[in-house]
Amino acid sequence: MRRSYLIPEFVVDIEHTNCRRCKRCVMNCSYEALSFENKVVPDNFKCVACHRCVVYCPEQVITVRKNPTDFKGSANWTDRHRLDIWKQAETGSILLTGMGNDLPYEIIFDHLVLDACQVTNPSIDPLREPMELRTYLGKKPDSLEFVETPDGKLKLKEKPPKNLKLEIPIVFAPMSYGAISLNSHKAMAMAAKEMGTVMHTGEGGLHEELYDYGQYTITQCASGRFGVHADYLKRGIAVDIKIGQGAKPGIGGHLPGEKVGLDISKTRMIPMGTDALSPAPHHDIYSIEDLRQLIFAIKEATGYKPVSVKIATVHNIAAIASGVVRAGADIVYLDGFRGGTGAAPRIVRDHVGIPLELALASVDDRLRQEGIRNHASLIAAGSIRSAADAIKAIALGADAVAIGTGALIAIGCRVCQTCHMGRCAWGIATQRPELTRRLDPEIAAERLINLLRAWSLEIKEVLGSLGLNAIESLRGSRERLRGIGLDSQTLDILAVKAAGK
């Protein structure tokens, strides 16, 4: 066998003198990086830094660190470039990866700061005053008409279109059953119900065990039509048509056959063991008119539930979003180029698309210029890492944000970027029964609920400091943001003033 030129990315150190040889680390290592030969022996090449062994070692004698071996320094030929070339020289393959873009592009959210009230306008204490995060997603008419009732009460002349009611402006991002485990889905469904928000099935359908959570679910119709049937669509509170994904714009999905066991086969309605390929284009959508037909077909099928269209943020996103709204979408789901993925070619994940912040600002602007901002809500997604990101996205114009990777991290994900291997040691992004059972859905749900609750409290705290007591007063209010270290063109696109102005 030819010698590989690669070197391990990580080094596993075990403090053998204090190790009691319980082998728990070996049992926990789904990547088979640890074995036992009188003592625990690491195979550094296989370690992905998932930290499962570190967390579950009762003696805490395991350390995983980045391989300290130095490369001859070069700002141009980075370690990453060299390792990639060696990998490809050995395999002749596309580099595959999981999770989101990790290149050091400027993160605009980190260059935006929020306003706060001082003397002229009192801040509001969220512990003493109501602070409202309730959000309705969907098409709104430009105006309402009322009829006078004899007792002088308000009554609507005509009901507005159905909207999706959220108690918090945070939803779970689409992650399919297949890409992630059933227990992960269960945890999100339970958390969504508890917090009055929604989880998003992704393109893999909805497992029957989760049908009771339908009212807290956005179902998805992707190009593969996996698991899409009338009952599925009707179970959900809204339907999403997946056109693009932030991590891989213009690229379809691929669930390898080995992940398609009995349950996934039934849920996706495909034979066991077959690859589930969902190409980027839908077989019936090659134009905006085609999209319109599908939107209205879904509306007819579901009794006019809100229909969302998920698009990846690309160069001409404002015009695309305008077309999507004019095609009848009630929600436009904008997935930024840092959005996560179960598996994608690294070149696409890292180099295709544009940052969410810029896309969001230009879409919100464009829809306003065209006078159609009320016709659809915007969900912003693609690496919302904290409540601060969520608040800034809302101030830039989002109605709500979606969290995918953030939710997975809450339930244990270490962002080791190897979801595509299907060996997730935490039972999150895997279908292997011995691994999926590691994730207790109730414990995971509790962690998700805690995360959403914590973020909600933080959002309320910031709203209070801004002197606002309703989230709708922050939505699109870019006046409350300032940029630090952003160039004037970026500030112009964001329609945000520089700090100090």
- Is 114 one of the binding residues for another protein (CB under 8 A)? no
* Least gap, CB of 304 to another protein (angstroms): 16
Q: Let me know: does 467 contact 479? Beta carbons within 8 Å.
A: no
* Least gap, CB of 160 to another protein (angstroms): 5
> Which candidate, 192, 291, 188, places its Cα nearest to that of 244?
291
* Least gap, CB of 394 to another protein (angstroms): 10
- Is 125 one of the binding residues for another protein (CB under 8 A)? no
Per-residue string for binding with another protein, 157-176, x by CB under 8 A?
Answer: --xx--x-------------
Q: Between residues 3 and 155, which has the closer beta carbon with respect to another protein?
A: 155
User: How far apart (Å, rounded) are the C-alpha atoms in residues 346 and 103?
Assistant: 11
User: How far apart (Å, rounded) are the C-alpha atoms in residues 60 and 15?
Assistant: 9
What one-letter code names the amino acid at 259? K
Q: Are strands 253-255 and 112-114 parallel, antiparallel or unpaired?
A: unpaired
User: How far apart (Å, rounded) are the C-alpha atoms in residues 196 and 475?
Assistant: 20
Contacts (Cβ under 8 Å, ≥6 apart) of 275: 254, 255, 256, 257, 260
Residue 49, both tokens = 């830094």
Contacts (Cβ under 8 Å, ≥6 apart) of 217: 189, 192, 198, 199, 200, 201, 206, 210, 235, 236, 237
Q: Are strands 238-242 and 217-221 parallel, antiparallel or unpaired?
A: parallel
Interacting positions 138-157 with another protein (CB under 8 A): 140-146, 148-149, 153-156
- Is 136 one of the binding residues for another protein (CB under 8 A)? yes
List 1, 120, 262, 489, residue binding another protein (CB under 8 A): 120
Q: Between residues 147 and 443, which has the closer beta carbon with respect to another protein?
A: 147
Q: Between residues 119 and 230, which has the closer beta carbon with respect to another protein?
A: 119
Give the angle subtended at the CA of 395 by the CAs of 388 and 325, to the nearest 5°: 120
* Least gap, CB of 359 to another protein (angstroms): 18
- Is 490 one of the binding residues for another protein (CB under 8 A)? no
* Least gap, CB of 295 to another protein (angstroms): 21
User: How far apart (Å, rounded) are the C-alpha atoms in residues 258 and 263?
Assistant: 13
Q: Between residues 190 and 466, which has the closer beta carbon with respect to another protein?
A: 466
Residue 139, both tokens = 């098409």
Length of the chain, in residues: 501
Q: Between residues 164 and 356, which has the closer beta carbon with respect to another protein?
A: 164
Q: Between residues 138 and 202, which has the closer beta carbon with respect to another protein?
A: 138
Q: Between residues 299 and 478, which has the closer beta carbon with respect to another protein?
A: 478
Q: Between residues 137 and 243, which has the closer beta carbon with respect to another protein?
A: 137
Give whole-number Cα distances, 345 to 19, 100, 101, 335, 384, in Å: 39, 11, 11, 17, 22
- Is 119 one of the binding residues for another protein (CB under 8 A)? yes
Cβ neighbours of 480 (radius 10 Å): 20
Per-residue string for binding with another protein, 442-481, x by CB under 8 A?
Answer: ------------------------xxxxx-xxxxxxxxx-
The secondary structure of residue 458, as a DSSP letter, is H
Q: Between residues 233 and 468, which has the closer beta carbon with respect to another protein?
A: 468
Q: Rg of the chain over CA atoms, in angstroms? A: 24
Q: Please identify, among the stretches 93-101, 113-121, 304-312, 425-433, the one whose residues bind another protein according to the rule CB under 8 A.
A: 113-121
> How many residues in the shown chain lie near another protein by CB under 8 A?
49
User: How far apart (Å, rounded) are the C-alpha atoms in residues 186 and 87?
Assistant: 37
* Least gap, CB of 143 to another protein (angstroms): 4
- Is 489 one of the binding residues for another protein (CB under 8 A)? no
* Least gap, CB of 479 to another protein (angstroms): 3
Interacting positions 364-393 with another protein (CB under 8 A): 368, 371, 373-374
- Is 487 one of the binding residues for another protein (CB under 8 A)? no
* Least gap, CB of 138 to another protein (angstroms): 8
Q: Let me know: does 176 contact 206? Beta carbons within 8 Å.
A: no
- The site for another protein (CB under 8 A) is made up of 117, 119-122, 124, 129-130, 132, 134, 136, 140-146, 148-149, 153-156, 159-160, 163, 368, 371, 373-374, 466-470, 472-480, 495-497, 501
